């Protein structure tokens, strides 16, 4: 940490057990605590002989992190990030009237957005988080911003819902390997509806991009990311339309750990079969 930053810092090291770590982390919150990861890894890998204390290590770290949280941290950017990180399996289903959802995001209230998402009359984790926002800002300096916070979170959820439906249709139900591309896709899908750019042409089609980039996979995905960044800088409606076609069709899909295991087992079985036949 820079000496000119004005923030006092203390490197925490030399903790041989969970209790020592707890003591070192306690004390003044005016000082930034920097953990020595080599010591922490040592404890987690068995340096701490007590099973109970090893389990307690995670609780110590969790408590320390939570103690840093304040309702005043809540901002539109913060709650949007929560929405962008929302478990895709817990996202609302895409409503039949996606245009109504876009209109609610553009000029409606949080209640109208909830209705447009189709979750007004059913229990849903999205509504639970909205209640959490309300509870946390009530009586704080952020209370006047409650409506903006709710709409910012719901906008991110709406974008994610649109992106999920698009990727499901493209045969990528697990989402994309690059989460940021999935966030961009959702934003552009919403913009396409709000700005009514659909049908105004594409700056570049997926087919042309593939023809122009006949390279190995790593280079291809790198160039695709570069193309996405370039298109994001344009306000041309055709750039928006290009992004909502390029990303779902060409971006690398996310492969879940279970799928990887199944592929490894399948490949191993195939090799075993070939060797057996030989």
| Residue-range domain boundaries for the chain | 3-69, 71-152, 170-278
Q: Which DSSP category does 15 fall into?
A: -
- Check if the beta carbon of residue 32 is closer than 8 Å to that of residue 97: no
- Check if the beta carbon of residue 25 is closer than 8 Å to that of residue 60: yes
- Read off the pLDDT band of 200 (50, 70, 90): very high
Q: Taking the model in full, what pTM does it have?
A: 0.71
pLDDT reported for residue 5: 45
C-alpha torsion 107→148→241→94, nearest 10: -80
CB neighbour list of residue 32: distance below 8 Å, 6 or more residues apart: 1, 7, 8, 9, 10
- Give percent of the chain with pLDDT exceeding 70: 72
pLDDT reported for residue 142: 87
CA dist 239 and 191 (Å) reads: 11
Q: pLDDT tens for residues 138-186? A: 998 889 999 999 999 999 999 999 999 999 999 999 999 999 999 999 9
Q: pLDDT tens for residues 239-278? A: 999 999 999 999 999 886 444 445 545 454 554 454 455 4
């Amino acid at each position: 940490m820079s000496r000119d930053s004005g923030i006092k810092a203390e490197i925490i090291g030399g903790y041989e057990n969970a209790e020592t770590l707890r003591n070192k982390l306690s004390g003044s919150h005016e000082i930034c605590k920097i953990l020595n990861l080599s010591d922490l890894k040592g404890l987690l890998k068995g340096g701490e002989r007590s099973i109970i204390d090893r389990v307690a290590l995670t609780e110590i770290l969790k408590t320390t992190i939570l103690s840093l949280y304040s309702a005043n941290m809540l901002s539109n950017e913060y709650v949007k990030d929560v929405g962008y990180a929302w478990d895709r399996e817990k996202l609302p289903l895409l409503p039949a009237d996606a245009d109504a959802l876009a209109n609610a995001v553009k000029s409606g209230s949080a209640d109208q957005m909830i209705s447009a998402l189709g979750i007004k009359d059913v229990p849903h984790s999205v509504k639970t988080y909205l209640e959490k926002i309300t509870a946390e800002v009530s009586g704080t300096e952020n209370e006047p911003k409650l409506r903006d916070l709710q709409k910012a979170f719901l906008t991110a959820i709406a974008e994610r819902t649109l992106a999920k439906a698009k990727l499901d249709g493209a045969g990528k139900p697990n989402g994309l390997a690059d989460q940021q591309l999935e966030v961009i896709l959702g934003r552009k899908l919403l913009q396409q509806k709000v700005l009514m750019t659909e049908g105004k042409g594409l700056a570049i089609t997926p087919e042309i991009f593939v023809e122009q980039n006949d390279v190995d996979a790593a280079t291809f995905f790198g160039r695709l990311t570069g193309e996405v960044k370039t298109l994001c800088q344009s306000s041309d409606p055709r750039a928006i339309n290009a992004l909502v076609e390029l990303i779902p069709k060409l971006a690398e899909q996310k492969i879940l750990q279970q799928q990887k295991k199944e592929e490894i087992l399948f490949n191993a079985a195939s090799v075993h079969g070939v060797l057996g036949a030989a």
